């Protein structure tokens, strides 16, 4: 839990540094740029909010908190897919405690994501027509791609177990009340929110490409963004090819890894044992 907290605080501090390096424009200049460059409305509005004041810091914190809440379903699925890929690709990692491996991977994931935003902010510094806007477009596209790949590995009910194990062991009563809202939220993300973000982002990206506002740095940074997903795809292709050579079914690879299932409490184990014993007697 301490590693998770450290990773979250460190990631948001890096994001704050990236925001601080963005355009320190006055409100009048920002509105003028908004009038001239309407296609960068998202980008310019963010620069208005990234003021070096306490109010700007509060608004910035609320923005990142809102982004975290709206993408938590996709983020957890992505992290779970990375964890499963690492645990299956690197056999020697099994001797490490599973919770430690999970926390380390989570910290590395958040660090790389926000370090990328930091580099993007440095490249965009001084040029209002460049490219922090594109970073927001890439995230939902990548999230949907990894979501489509991970649907073969985890089911919706499995996501509830992952939330249970990743966020820690909450009180039983609290988890009982949170179970149904989380399930509803995941269903809404899967069927409504994620496809809507994908369509909006794809349309905006297509408009940017057609309008000629495509830069070499954008292509390079896009490739850098897709490297983690490419590594996962390559590893899965290797596993599929090995299964094909040994005569195994490809479906055998896409099975949920229940090694991450939380351990049952003593009372719950005793209740299950008594229930099975009663059925055997009957």
Give the CB-side neighbour count of residue 94, counting CA atoms within 13 A.
6
Using one digit for the tens of pLDDT, what is the confidence trace for 55-104? 555 555 555 555 555 455 555 555 555 565 555 555 555 555 555 556 56
What confidence score (pLDDT) does residue 163 get?
Answer: 47
Looking at the predicted structure, is the pLDDT value of residue 242 above 70? yes
What is the Rg, in whole angstroms, of the alpha carbon atoms belonging to the chain?
A: 22
What confidence score (pLDDT) does residue 115 get?
Answer: 54
**Tally of structural domains, the chain:** 1
Task: Report, as an integer, the average pLDDT of 262-281.
Answer: 54
Using one digit for the tens of pLDDT, what is the confidence trace for 187-215? 555 455 545 555 555 555 555 555 555 44
Listing DSSP states for 194-213 in one string gives: HHHHHHHHHHHHHHHHHTT-
Structure tokens at 149: 């790949």
Using one digit for the tens of pLDDT, what is the confidence trace for 176-190? 455 555 445 455 554
What confidence score (pLDDT) does residue 130 get?
Answer: 40
What confidence score (pLDDT) does residue 246 get?
Answer: 78
Q: State the Cα–Cα distance between residues 16 and 64, nearest whole angstrom.
A: 10
Listing DSSP states for 24-43 in one string gives: ---HHHHHHHHHH-GGGHHH
Using one digit for the tens of pLDDT, what is the confidence trace for 127-171? 433 444 444 445 445 544 544 544 444 444 444 444 444 444 444
Question: 245 pLDDT band (50/70/90 cuts)?
Answer: confident
Q: Tell me the residue range of the domain where 180 lies.
A: 2-281
């Amino acid at each position: 839990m301490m590693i998770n907290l450290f990773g979250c605080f460190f990631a948001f501090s890096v994001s704050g540094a990236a925001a601080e390096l963005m355009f320190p424009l006055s409100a009048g200049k920002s509105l003028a740029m908004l009038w001239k460059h309407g296609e960068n409305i998202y980008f310019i509005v963010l620069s208005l909010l990234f003021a070096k004041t306490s109010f700007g810091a509060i608004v910035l914190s609320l923005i990142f908190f809102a982004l975290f809440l709206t993408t938590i379903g996709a983020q957890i699925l992505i992290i779970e897919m990375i964890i499963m890929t690492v645990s299956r690709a690197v056999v020697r990692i099994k001797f490490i405690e599973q919770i430690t491996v999970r926390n380390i991977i989570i910290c590395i994931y958040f660090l790389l994501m926000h370090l990328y935003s930091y580099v993007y902010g440095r490249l965009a510094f001084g040029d209002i027509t460049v490219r922090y806007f594109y970073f927001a477009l890439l995230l939902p596209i990548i999230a949907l791609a990894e979501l489509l790949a991970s649907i073969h590995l985890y089911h919706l009910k499995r996501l509830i177990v992952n939330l249970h194990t990743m966020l820690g062991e909450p009180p039983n009563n609290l988890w009982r009340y949170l179970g149904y809202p989380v399930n509803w939220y995941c269903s809404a993300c899967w069927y409504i929110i994620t496809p809507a973000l994908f369509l909006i982002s794809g349309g905006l990206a297509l408009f940017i490409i057609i309008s000629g506002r495509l830069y070499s740095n954008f292509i390079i940074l896009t490739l850098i963004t897709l490297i983690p997903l490419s590594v996962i795809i390559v590893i899965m292709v290797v596993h599929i090819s090995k299964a094909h050579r040994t005569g195994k079914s490809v479906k055998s690879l896409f099975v949920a890894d229940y090694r991450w299932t939380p351990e049952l409490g003593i009372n719950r184990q005793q209740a299950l044992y008594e229930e099975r014993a009663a059925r055997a007697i009957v």
